[in-house]
Each structure stands twice: as C-alpha cells, then as structure tokens.
C-alpha cells in the first residue's frame, strides 16, 4: 500500500457499531420491513457482526503475512503452486458475493514462504470490497514485491452473484482473470505448464 493510500485509509472515520446497526435498520425499513418484528429484532446486530467477518481483510496486512520467509531452498528451482484456493468475496459495485477459486504460483529466487501464507493472502484480499481484476493484481503484486521471486502467476475463476442473482441473471457463467509476472510472463513454456497444472 502506498503511503498516500495508507494516509487516506487512516483519515477515514469508522462509524460506531451502534451507527452501523442503525443503518441496517434503515435499510430494512426502506425494503418495506418492520425491524421490530420478532424475526428481525436482532438482525441489525447479526448483520453488523457478519460484515466484520466478510470484510476482515481491511484489518490485515498481506505483506506482513509474507514477511516470515525461509532461505533454505537447497537448490530447488521450479514453481511452487497452490491451486483451488476457495474464497468468498464481495463485489464493490453491488456488495454481492463473489464465490470462486484462486490458483497461485511463484518461482522462488532467494526466499520461500509457508504455503498456507499463499492461501492467507487470497483471503485477505477477498475479504474486502473489490473487483476480481483488482484482487488478481493485488495478490500478484504483493508476492512479487515481498518475496522478489523469479515470477508469479495468479488465475482466479469465480461466480459473481451480482450477475447470476440480479441483472442479466446468467447462473452458469464464470469469470476468469489472470496475472503473469517475471518468468510466467516472459517464458511461454513456463506459463503453459502452469496452466496445464491448474486444469
């Protein structure tokens, strides 16, 4: 995150929990509901707690997750791939769920990282309001910037419920995005081998 974006984030004032719950109550009334009826009395509080879980990525630092590295790769010279990392996110345009899988690979140079960290950074960026394109780029950028590998490859395949549940209502469609850096971008054979491994 650039200093400018960090300062901008710091300057945002986060409303209190009570204000958030009151906002949910307003939305329920706007939808035509009575927030005081039995089934909805605790919904504003529950929905606010759910938001904390959905968007926990705002309080996490992906670069920090990758900061604990190991240099004992002992001559290993190939890609490290974690595929089919399941995630749920929310689109920044409709706050509708995005449900998909990410495939993340990097080719170590001097540093390696625990493989669970790759899944963790997918979750960090997924648990924010985002676009799939930005999420793909952010995962690729943080691995490239932090681990300084020979290359990074990220492919995300996801269902956008803003497209399947509303709007055009295409329930069987999926969206695929990719980011290739370093050897995955410049070496066709390396990129092709990665794509074959995730099929």
Question: Whole-model pTM?
Answer: 0.87
- Cβ–Cβ < 8 Å for 80, 120: no
Tell me how far apart the alpha carbons of residues 132 and 92 are, in angstroms, rounded to a whole number: 10
> Quick check: is 93 catalytic?
yes
Provide the pLDDT for residue 3: 44
| pLDDT of 24 | 96
The CATH classification number of 62-198 equals 3.30.1130.10
* pLDDT at res. 173: 78
92 given a catalytic annotation: yes
In angstroms, the CA 25 to CA 22 distance is: 5
Higher pLDDT, residue 1 or 9: 9
The residue annotated as part of the active site, out of 92, 110, 133, 192, is 92
User: Is residue 138 among the annotated active site residues?
Assistant: no
Contact criterion met (CB below 8 Å) for 125 and 139: yes
Residues 131, 112: Cα–Cα separation, whole Å: 28
Q: pLDDT confidence of 73, banded at 50, 70, 90?
A: confident
pLDDT tens column, 135-153: 999 999 999 999 999 999 9
- Could you confirm whether 160 is annotated as catalytic? yes
**Cα–Cα nearest to 125, from 156, 146, 150, 149:** 156
Domain boundaries, the chain: 3-54, 62-198
Average pLDDT over residues 117-128: 97
Best CA proximity match to 198, nearest among 182, 181, 178, 183: 178
Q: Candidates 1.20.140.10, 1.10.286.10, 2.70.98.10, 3.40.50.300; correct CATH number of 3-54? A: 1.10.286.10
Q: Determine the Cα–Cα distance for residues 199 and 12; give it in Å rounded to an integer.
A: 42
Identify the residue with better confidence: 16 or 170: 16
How far is Cα 143 from Cα 79, in angstroms, rounded to an integer?
13
Do the two domains 3-54 and 62-198 of this chain adopt the same fold?
Answer: no
> What pLDDT shows up at residue 166?
60
Residue 90 annotated among the catalytic residues of the structure: no
């Amino acid at each position: 995150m650039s200093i400018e974006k960090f300062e901008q984030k710091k300057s945002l004032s986060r409303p209190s929990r009570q204000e958030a719950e009151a906002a949910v109550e307003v939305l329920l009334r706007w939808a035509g509901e009575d927030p005081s009826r039995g089934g909805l009395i605790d919904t504003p509080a529950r929905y606010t707690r759910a938001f904390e879980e959905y968007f926990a990525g705002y309080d996490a630092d992906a670069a920090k997750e990758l900061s604990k590295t190991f240099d004992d790769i002992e001559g290993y010279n190939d890609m490290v791939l974690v595929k089919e990392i399941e995630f749920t996110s929310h689109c920044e345009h409709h706050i509708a769920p995005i449900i998909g899988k990410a495939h993340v690979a990097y080719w170590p140079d001097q540093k390696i990282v625990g493989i669970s960290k790759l899944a963790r950074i997918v979750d960090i960026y997924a648990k924010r309001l985002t676009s799939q394109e930005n999420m793909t780029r952010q995962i690729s950028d943080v691995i490239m910037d932090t681990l300084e590998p020979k290359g990074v490859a990220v492919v995300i395949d996801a269902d956008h419920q803003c497209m399947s549940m509303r709007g055009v209502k295409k329930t069987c469609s999926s969206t695929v995005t990719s980011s290739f850096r370093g050897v995955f971008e410049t070496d066709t054979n390396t990129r092709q081998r990665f794509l074959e491994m995730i099929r």
